[in-house]
Structure 1
């Protein structure tokens, strides 16, 4: 009996130690191995790899003068202004920031009307629409890219409709415009959700006071409502910029090397075995993203501390009341609804339709039959569809087995008011700030290629490395779902159990976890969905066709840049992936899952 109690007492500390050990081996060591190549060479520190990148116009464009000839920069700017500000070479980092800026503007423009609709109107299906804003955190990026190919391709769903109407076709696939639109698909719901929440929390008494003092509706909105919305809008814009700056699958699938961002070029350098150059680029990108994330977190803390409660603005029925201004608002919102359907529903609907449409336009199940076959070769290469589906499901289960205990342990640490708990939480959730490409490179170099210890080379198989990478990406989402639920439990329940002689571990197993079962289930659904849809690290670690997953197979199927026979298998597999992630979304939504950073 004493041995059992000692085991229960040590369970949580031991779980914490094991979690830290796993992170040290699977995350911190691989990531450090990537960064060290940029700052360490021949047994000593060096800045040469970083300077080689920063002084190369291909990477930094006109900004390379900041590092090669900084004294000439003021005169160069004056000359540029006198010449009428002609176009300048942005370089790889400049283009990455440029497309992220355009994507942020598009996401805000597409998300704000939705925020207004959700915050100010009551209508049937409002809660369902609000729930759907969680989808970007569940849908795999590469699957969405297939949907955009199916909809906007030269023989895609949109051009088929335009042909039936006698209109000319449009060609926007593999352009900057389609990348920006795809990014808006992902990030506009984030803008909608954050701004709508802020809009709903505006104190109606402040608005009524402004109106009572003679302010018009527009003046009250400008002076009272808008200042309340700006913090959430800036937060959403900054998050969107960070996400799109580090975007990988969408740019790879819809832009390729011709419109490469930093992440895509890192992937290309790894494929060319230029690992040192890839590591240097990854280091610079990670530093920039961490700086942006730091700005976001500081701003969010300031916003949270400044927030105050109040009576929220009342929502009005969408179809009640008729006057010119109301009619114009309704027409505008209905027009927005049509645009939103085309952007958000169109790609997903297109991939489902294309998956059951044959070359002659007739209904077919041939593409799904293809997925069930065990061919050794396909029209798109050597990717075997059924093993890719099975691998995704198996890797998802493996991820659950590792990510769930890690996420729960971190949640327990985060909810305990102990010295250093905040620092421990930051260290344990650091994977949120590092891209999957960087982690994939690190795992490839340290675990797959092997690490020499005590004269022996220790290696892991590609599938094992994939599960480890997926678990590292997934467990913070388990923590984000479990920690708030643990923190909201009544402390008296825990105290009562402890006073009856239960150990801290027994209390957690018998009292706390059963009470937060919904949050644990939502965290598990998040972890499984993230694993099934993860692409960034998987595409680097899937060394052969036997370890391909559905997202990697999708990229292979559409990699030939055509809408030929390969699109059928791609849309069929994407539809299967959509069904799996949709099921995960239903679980998350029903269980009240948390999705925020």
Structure 2
């Protein structure tokens, strides 16, 4: 039912204006300041910083010559000869394409199994596809370092059977595997949801007209799945193109992507070059995000009304089920292995004996070589997460109220609200650093905040879209007659919200809060920019510092603490089941 137009009362107006002001201060103004830095120099408009990046072979390889005005003929010859270089942007896109393909290869069979087979634990497996939304990526890096390191379980197993060991750390292969670990569940979730909604009557009609099962699948099922596959492909590509902590921890600077170079330029205070990089990266990701939102709506429009009946997975043994069993083994190794390896590495010493020394290290408040106190990191993470809840949940609910109706204005607000999905956390951190942390003048007054306050703001910016995505579907599906009846009886719009709407969508709000908490605890990109030289570091930053110092024990112990904290959030979300907007 379409939502009727309602009079906006004062509390609603105040809440909307407050949310808009917070977003302006915490997101749009800081990000805008970074973009302006790339087109203004000494108070005058110029594209020189962007032109310098475009014509720098470090970033664009042989394509830089074309941007500088040279003939593209030589570039074409190099491409045909297989000798062309496309710099860091080319490498970033290359690893993102490979990561996306690997995520699809691993994820699509999982979507098929979830959509077509019934088995014990299926609901739990489906819930686990939420893991990428709540699992800190730096913790994933710690798990892969523990499993695929020179002394990890993989190399121990190879040595035990007399095979040569492999060194995967700081290789492209481990980055691709880690990206697949993180993003294949997204493919499973998005495509399985669409597969479950395939209209089986169309398949039956095709079969009755003489189509073979293969032809019916290609002609009927595939077109209905195409929007979901394209949506998940775009989403995974965006995430892997902007990937930062996984590349930084597992690839190092020799495999640096644009995001890592952006962070490096910020660390070196080369802010003009960093701003130009941010503009070019944002132009790419914003375009991809627009395409993602377009195809996401197309996917929702293609869901059918006659879902298929799922077969029992273990009803018999045949070739297909044997293949599924093999797939399950691969999934166990790729997805369970790193987590188990991290947990084991946190309680095993260099000789393989049981030890709690790494957890004692966390409790005893010892300083690591990198000067990071574990207790400070844990305390900061929890405090920042609480602050994020205070900001992100009300903001998310207000934006959800503004986008629950299917109108042009709601779509515009919804698109603007999803900006954090398209803009790098590093850029958000840089923007906050250049503005409210360094200080800005407002009406003659100097406004300046501490790094800790800026970190909470950055976390809230990254978390509130998840509140929006969980609450909006619940509001959209609500019967408007309930609110209209309350209004007819004299209740104000605010009273109707407090007495009727919020109680009915409380599970979705609670799930959004759990998402916000988990995202804050695991956030790394903006935090690592804002904590430079300060003591506002968090658990993910501590994990990265330990990994960079090759202190795997403390890194895995801190990663295990992160796993426990985010697992609590996951349990809350899974129990409430209010995550329809993330499908």
Map residues 232-381 of structure 1 onto 2, 5 A cutoff.
232-305=228-301, 307=302, 309-322=304-317, 327-375=318-366, 377-378=367-368, 380-381=369-370
Q: 1:176 aligns with which of 172, 177, 180?
A: 172
Q: 1:454, CA displacement in angstroms?
A: 4.8
SS for the counterpart of 1:547 is coil
Aligned with 2:525: secondary structure? coil
Q: Kindly tell me: are residues 108 and 427 of structure 1, through their superposed partners in 2, closer, same or farther at Cα, counting changes over 3 Å?
A: closer
Using the TM superposition, give the Cα deviation of residue 491 of structure 1 relative to its aligned residue in structure 2, in angstroms.
1.8
Alignment check: 8 A CA contact 1:39 1:49 kept: yes
C-alpha distance in 2 between matches for 1:209 and 1:57 = 57
Range with bigger deviation, 585-594 or 498-507: 498-507
Question: How many residues are matched?
Answer: 575
In structure 2, the residue matched to 1:55 is 55
The residue number in structure 2 matching 1:385 is 374
SS of alignment partner, residue 198 of structure 2: coil
Question: In 2, Cα distance between the equivalents of 1:371 and 1:437?
Answer: 28
Deviations 1:207-233 (A, max 9, x none): 223333333322222222222222211
| 1:457 counterpart SS class | strand
Post-superposition offset of 1:78: 5.3
Offset of residue 517 of structure 1? 1.2
- Indicate yes or no: 2:391 matched with 1:402: yes
**Where do residues 141-152 of structure 1 align in structure 2 (5 Å cutoff)?**
141-152=137-148
- Computed over aligned residues only, the root mean square deviation of the Cα atoms, in angstroms, reads 1.8
Counterpart Cα distance in 2 of 1:25 and 1:512: 29
Aligned mate of 1:439, from 414, 422, 428: 428
2:77 maps to which of 79, 83, 96:
79
Query: Does structure 1 residue 482 correspond to structure 2 residue 471?
Result: yes
Question: Residues 60-209 of structure 1 correspond to what in structure 2 (within 5 A)?
Answer: 60-70=60-70, 72-73=71-72, 75-76=73-74, 79-80=77-78, 85-209=81-205
1:361-401 C-alpha deviation (Å, 9 max, x unpaired): 111111111111122x22x3100001100110010001111
Tell me if structure 1 keeps the 8 A contact 2:403–2:414: yes
Q: Are the counterparts in 1 of residues 543 and 559 from structure 2 also a CA contact under 8 Å? A: yes
Could you tell me which runs of 5 or more consecutive residues in structure 1 were left unpaired when the two chains were aligned.
1-7
**Equivalent position of 1:33 in the other structure:** 33
Equivalent residues in 2 for 1:445-484 (5 A)? 445-484=434-473
Aligned counterparts of 1:334 and 1:579: Cα–Cα separation in 2: 29
Larger deviation, residues 203-212 vs 112-121: 203-212
Say which is worse superposed, 401-410 or 158-167, in terms of deviation: 158-167
Q: How many angstroms apart in 2 are the aligned matches of 1:526 and 1:65?
A: 45
Structure 1 pair 523–78 and aligned structure 2 pair: CA distance change class (3 A): closer
Can you list the C-alpha shifts for 1:425-454, whole angstroms capped at 9, x where unaligned? 333443332111110000011011111345
Matching residue of 1:497: 486
- 2:580 is the alignment partner of 1:591: no
Q: How has the CA–CA distance of structure 1 residues 215 and 361 changed in structure 2, closer, same or farther, with 3 Å as cutoff?
A: same
Which runs of structure 2 are paired with 1:412-427 in the superposition (5 Å)? 412-415=401-404, 420-427=409-416
Cα distance in structure 2, aligned partners of 1:347 and 1:40: 46
Q: Alignment partner for residue 520 of structure 1, among 504, 509, 512?
A: 509
CA contact (8 A) 1:451 1:459 kept: yes
Deviation at 1:489, TM superposition (A): 1.9
Counterpart of 1:3 in structure 2 is none
CA shift for structure 1 position 9: 4.1
TM-score w.r.t. length of structure 1: 0.93
Q: CA deviation at 1:587?
A: 0.6
Q: Which residue of 2 aligns with 1:215?
A: 211
Q: For residue 61 of structure 2, give the secondary structure of its aligned residue in structure 1.
A: helix
Q: Deviations over 1:25-78 (max 9, x none)?
A: 1111111110001111232221111111101111111111321235x21x3255
Deviation at 1:303, TM superposition (A): 4.1
After superposition, give the CA deviation of every residue in 1:178-231 in whole Å (9 maximum; x if it has no partner): 001100011111111122222222222222233333333222222222222222
2:417 & 2:21 partners in 1: Cα distance? 11
Deviation at 1:417, TM superposition (A): 7.0
Provide closer, same or farther for how the CA distance between residues 419 and 503 of structure 1 changes in structure 2, counting only shifts above 3 A.
Answer: farther
In structure 2, which of residues 527, 530, 535 is the aligned counterpart of residue 541 of structure 1? 530
Normalised by the length of structure 2, the TM-score is: 0.95
Report the alpha carbon displacement of residue 456 of structure 1 after superposing the two structures with TM. 4.5
Give me the whole-angstrom Cα distance separating, in 2, the residues matched to 1:50 and 1:77.
Answer: 21
Query: 1:69 is paired with a residue of what secondary structure?
Result: coil
Q: Structure 2 vs 1, CA of residues 236 and 67 (structure 1 numbering), >3 Å: closer, same or farther? A: same
SS at match of 1:114: helix
- Counterpart CA distance in 1 for 2:532 and 2:446 is 19
**Alignment partner of 1:569 is 2:554:** yes
Which whole-Å CA distance do the structure 1 matches of 2:490 and 2:230 have between them?
A: 50
* 56-65 vs 163-172, which moves further: 163-172
Aligned equivalents of 1:321 and 1:388: distance in 2? 52
**Cα distance in 1, alignment partners of residues 42 and 33 from structure 2:** 14
In the TM superposition, structure 1's runs of 4+ consecutive aligned residues that sit over 6 Å from their partners are: none
Aligned-residue offset at 1:14: 0.5
Q: CA deviation at 1:544?
A: 4.0
Deviates more, 1:493-502 or 1:52-61: 493-502
Alignment partners' CA distance in 1, 2:192 and 2:417:
31
* Separation of aligned partners in 2, 1:47 and 1:140: 37
Unaligned runs of 5+ in 2: 1-7
The 10-residue stretch of structure 1 (204-213 or 470-479) with the greater mean CA deviation from structure 2 = 204-213
Q: Distance in 1 between matches of 2:508 and 2:445?
A: 43
Q: Is the 8 A contact 1:462 1:543 kept in 2?
A: no
Give the conservation status (yes or no) of the 8 Å contact 1:55–1:68: yes
Q: Contact 1:388–1:548 at 8 Å: present in 2 too?
A: yes
Q: Is the 8 A contact 2:289 2:421 kept in 1?
A: no
Q: Distance in 2 between matches of 1:508 and 1:271?
A: 46
